């Protein structure tokens, strides 16, 4: 049995995809009324409209129902992961715990697997990340993701368990690289949205994506990641998707920022907290993160779009 924590769009999509592949899935949500509604209607109409839950998916509000699972996928926002694990470590510690969130914790500066390891020391941390939208996964459209786990044997066991005919997982042992790629691409997606929202054009977006990828690689390497991982699905692949699609929440947030418009605060934008977390660390780095720093400044209202663009364009000319 596979457990999934979080009945948002992505958690529900994973439950649908795995359930359609005839896996037994237990989907946990904290709101008992929401659980009851999903159990009765076999729908998650608010988060993933038009998609039915397979009969192999059981919905529950009882965390103890996950204790016997072969693996538990943690589809909760990055900034709430530590608190959730602290509250429920008794039921989850000792299990393979697969983070499905992308970001860096603003309070500690840590990635998801480090938080899992600290909070649930007997668990086996892993991360599932890469270019994907919940609607595509739920509809059975071809999707490829990275499954990173430092424990080779556990990763090899999880790969076929979590793969389906349409959901193809590539295995990696570079957990740090997979985490960094998934986290940092959200920051660059916000910047890409700002570029388009401010009317700076597709050529500017392409340049920003390229230089943003260079920032991602520098930061990931400084945090112990392998360069090759950033060139894969969890880095470059996810960067391309989120910087060019209006389905990306981070891109839409950036576009609203570029247009000077408001954005629904109920929508999770992981890149905003990640930009702030990385910006905090720039003072201790021996290299610069100009795009990430500017994104953090824009989000916090410390500079205007015009000032940010001028600052980036005024940087010294150098070799690529």
* pLDDT tens for each residue of 186-210: 999 999 999 999 999 999 999 999 9
Nearest-5° Cα angle at 269, 265 to 275: 120
Domain co-membership, 107 together with 193: no
Residue 211: pLDDT band (50, 70, 90) is very high
Same domain, 139 and 184: no
Domain count along the chain? 2
- Give the model confidence (pLDDT) of 233-265 as tens digits: 999 999 999 999 999 999 999 999 999 999 999
In a domain, 318, yes or no: no
pTM for the predicted model, two decimal places: 0.94
For residue 237, what is the domain's CATH number?
1.10.1040.10
Is 185 considered catalytic here?
A: yes
Q: Which of 102, 185, 280, 318 is catalytic?
A: 185
Domain contains 61? yes
Where does the pLDDT of residue 93 fall: very low under 50, low under 70, confident under 90, or very high at 90 and above?
very high
Residue 314 confidence (pLDDT): 81
User: In the prediction, which pLDDT does 282 show?
Assistant: 84
Q: What contacts 253, CB < 8 A, 6 or more positions away?
A: 190, 193, 263, 267, 269, 271, 272
Q: Is residue 152 domain-shared with residue 182, that is, in the same domain? A: no
Whether the predicted pLDDT of 320 surpasses 80: no
Mean pLDDT computed over 154-179: 98
pLDDT digits (tens, 9 = 90+) for 269-308: 999 999 999 998 888 888 889 999 999 999 999 999 999 9
- Does residue 319 register a pLDDT over 80? no
d(CA 96, CA 73): 9
Comparing CA positions, the residue from 27, 32, 21, 20 lying closest to residue 2 is 27
Give the pLDDT mean for 83-91: 95
Tell me: do 41 and 157 sit in the same domain. Answer: yes
Domain that holds residue 148: 2-173
Report which of 97, 104, 76, 78 is spatially closest to residue 7, judged by C-alpha positions.
Answer: 76
What are the tokens at 110?
Answer: 């840590």
Residues 92 and 214 in one domain: no
Domain containing residue 147: CATH number: 3.40.50.720
């Amino acid at each position: 049995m596979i457990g999934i924590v979080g009945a948002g769009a992505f958690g529900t999509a994973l439950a649908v995809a795995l359930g359609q592949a005839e896996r037994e899935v237990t989907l946990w949500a904290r709101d008992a009324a929401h659980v009851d509604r999903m159990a009765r209607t076999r729908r998650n109409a608010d988060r993933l409209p038009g998609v039915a839950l397979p009969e192999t998916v059981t919905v529950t509000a009882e965390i103890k129902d996950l204790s016997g699972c072969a693996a538990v996928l943690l589809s909760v926002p990055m900034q709430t992961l530590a608190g959730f694990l602290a509250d429920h470590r008794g039921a989850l510690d000792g299990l393979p715990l697969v983070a499905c969130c992308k970001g860096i914790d603003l309070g500690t500066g840590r990635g998801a697997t480090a938080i899992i390891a600290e909070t649930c020391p007997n668990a086996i941390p892993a991360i599932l990340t890469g270019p994907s939208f919940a609607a595509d996964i739920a509809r059975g459209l071809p999707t490829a993701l990275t499954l990173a786990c430092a424990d080779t044997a556990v990763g090899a066991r999880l790969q076929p368990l979590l793969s389906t005919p349409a959901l193809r997982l590539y295995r990696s042992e570079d957990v740090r690289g997979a985490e960094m790629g998934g986290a940092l691409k959200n920051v660059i997606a916000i910047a890409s949205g700002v570029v388009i929202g401010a009317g700076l054009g597709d050529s500017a977006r392409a340049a920003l994506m390229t230089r943003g990828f260079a920032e991602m690689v520098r930061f990931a390497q400084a945090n112990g990641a392998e360069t090759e991982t950033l060139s894969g699905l969890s880095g470059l692949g996810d960067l391309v998707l989120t910087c060019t699609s209006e389905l990306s929440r981070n891109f839409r947030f950036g576009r609203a920022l570029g247009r000077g418009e408001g954005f629904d605060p109920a929508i999770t934008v992981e890149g905003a907290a990640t930009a702030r977390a990385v910006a905090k660390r720039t003072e201790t780095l021996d290299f610069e993160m100009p795009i990430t720093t500017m994104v953090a400044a824009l989000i916090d209202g410390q500079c205007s779009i015009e000032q940010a663009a001028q600052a980036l364009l005024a940087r010294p000319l150098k070799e690529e």
